[in-house]
Structure 1
Amino acid sequence: MEDSNEYMLGWNEGWDVDVAHQLLPLLQQDISEQEEICQLVGEYVMPYVCKEPRRTSRQTGQMWVNEILQGHPDRCYEMFRMEKHLFRQLCATLDELGLKKSKKMRVEEMVEMFLNTIGHGVGNRMIQERFQHSVHRNFHKILAACLNLSKANIKPFDPSFQRCHSKIQNDLLYWPFFKDAIGAIDGTHVPCVVSVVDKIKFIGRKGYATQNVMAVCDWDMCFTFVIAGWEGTAHDARVFDNAISTPSMHFPHPPSGKYYLVDSGYPTLNGYLDPYRCERYHLPDFRRVAGFANNNEVFNYYHSSLRCTIERTFEVWKNRRNSIIDEQFIQAKDESVDVLEEDIDIGEAYSSNLPRSLRQMQHVRDIIRDQLVNHIN
């Protein structure tokens, strides 16, 4: 009580003692509130204004990059899935395509950040810790440059398709029957991450979100055209129609007299040779039961044997990026009768509406079938 009176001396002169005792708790409450406000302001200022540095490692990302490039050749390949001379060539090419260094990162460090991410599937925070930099903006810079690079590389080696490929000429299984075949077309489903709103249409019969990717390859197992981004529920014929009918995609259309090999999931169009429907087609089906039931199966067997080049190309891609896609990299069409029957319904409905002038591929298919039958007999 004496302490309270001493505290009140000086400011309460002329005040009634009872009134002063009533005001004192209010004053103490006000002081407590001000202290809490100051504490909250301090809690905000320390982390957001007076920030503590997060990336404080003595070995910066550039130092680590220099160490890798100056070290054993295997370290570069293990970390970035690329040999040293190829890495330097890639950096120079991307620089020519417009990739420039930033204030804090050189082009080499940006590229190695990108390669380390896609080559090992490393998460965002791990890359930030390794390179002591933020990732998002620099990653998308590299991605945009690589997309420009793909335009210059994913294309036919011979756009006119005048020469027959040596794979066909030097293999008696296919020569001269498929001398006009210039490549193969197929689709594959690649796992993807999409928003909750769009997720449903990306979930197909595989049970998880995928995008339907259509690709064209030549007989050297090199991609000559790729279209990605279609939802997993989209049928191959729909993706195919969009690719060949959109001029801005620069699809490498086959010239007159040439054709791509496609499976029964694609329509019968001029320049695209599909197999006989309602017959055995996939190679495992022929392994289970030896021999051919009819002449159409003879054509289907050789057609499938050559067209599986695109499937092997997908497998090579899968094996080189298996740390990211692993076993979830699944081809769009399993080698099973069920899928073939599913493709028959849609493919037949598509082709039944085609003009008669576009059905000359059926005549080409019959000619090749007869030649193959005469050859094996």
Structure 2
Amino acid sequence: MLDVVCRMAMDVIKPMDREFSDIPQAILRDSRYMPHFKHCIGAIDGVHVQASIPPQDQVPYIGRKGMPTQNVMAVCYLGPYKDERYHLSDFRRGSQPTGYKEVFNHVHSSLWSVVERTFGVWKKIRKILRDMPNYSFNMQVKIVICYNDTS
């Protein structure tokens, strides 16, 4: 069944607008995000999901918390400008954003926090992603794809 859902995911997980000509309504209707994101195609973000790997094979999979994980990549929004203030806390401690790059980064940071919370909720409601069973790693990868596809 996992193989079937994974093959189906190749048809389902793709942009609905292949020309990227439509502006998402959430951006179009929100003055904080419009016009900053009207031409955005996307960027990649990731989340680590626990992996069950035999002890002798764990080293390449050890994440920053010291346990084996697989990195799940997701397409989100355009990245921020480098070398400019970005995090909301940076703006709380200092002055309001100045210049178009800082204004964009400020808005981007608030939007990006939604993406991060979504990853947290996804892992919280999908218990299998927190405590991955001791299946083969190939099977674990398919489980992640299927649980992402059926959310």
The normalised TM-score by structure 2 is 0.71
Tell me the equivalent position of 2:78: 261
TM norm structure 1: 0.31
CA contact (8 A) 1:169 1:179 kept: yes
Once the two structures are TM-superposed, the CA of residue 284 in structure 1 deviates from its matched residue by: 3.9
Does the aligned pair in 2 maintain the 1:184–1:310 contact within 8 Å? no
Contact preservation (8 Å) 2:50, 2:130: no
Q: Which residue number corresponds to residue 118 of structure 2? A: 313
CA distance 1:327–1:198, change in 2 (3 Å): closer
Residue in 2 aligned with 1:276? 82
Percent identity of paired positions between Structure 1 and Structure 2: 47
**Conserved 8 A contact 1:275-1:303:** no
- Distance in 2, matches of 1:305 and 1:327, equals 30
The question of 1:206 aligning with 2:65 is answered: yes
1:135-174 residue pairs with structure 2 within 5 A?
Answer: 142-174=1-33
Q: How many residues align?
A: 131
Q: Which runs of 5+ in 2 are unaligned?
A: 133-151
State the match for 1:300 in structure 2: 105
Look up the SS of the partner of 1:207 in the other structure. Answer: coil
User: What is the CA RMSD across the aligned residues, in angstroms?
Assistant: 2.6
Q: Residue 194 of structure 1 aligns with which residue?
A: 53
Query: Is 2:97–2:106's contact at 8 Å kept on the other side of the alignment?
Result: no
**Superposition pairs of residues 314-333 of structure 1, within 5 angstroms:** 314-321=119-126, 323-326=127-130
- 2:147 is matched with which residue? none
Contact map agreement 2:49 2:130 (CA 8 A) in 1: no
Q: Which is bigger in relative contact order (C-alpha 8 A, separation at least 6)?
A: 2
**Unaligned ranges ≥5, structure 1:** 1-141, 218-259, 263-273, 329-377
Q: 1-side partners of 2:8 and 2:25: how far apart? A: 27
Cα-to-partner distance string for 1:225-272 (whole Å, 9 max, x where unaligned): xxxxxxxxxxxxxxxxxxxxxxxxxxxxxxxxxxx413xxxxxxxxxx
**Alpha-carbon shift at residue 180 of structure 1 (Å):** 0.4
Per-residue CA shift, 1:70-106, capped at 9, x if unaligned? xxxxxxxxxxxxxxxxxxxxxxxxxxxxxxxxxxxxx
- Max Rg structure: 1
One-letter amino acid of the structure 2 residue matched with residue 307 of structure 1: W
AA in 1 matched with 2:128: I
Does structure 2 conserve the Cα–Cα contact (< 8 Å) formed by 1:186 and 1:214?
yes
Q: Cα distance 1:172–1:179, how it changes in 2: closer, same or farther (>3 A)? A: same
Written as runs of structure 1 = structure 2, the 5 A alignment for 1:1-377 is: 142-217=1-76, 260-262=77-79, 274-277=80-83, 279-287=84-92, 289-292=93-96, 294-295=98-99, 296-321=101-126, 323-326=127-130
Secondary structure of 1:214's match? Answer: strand
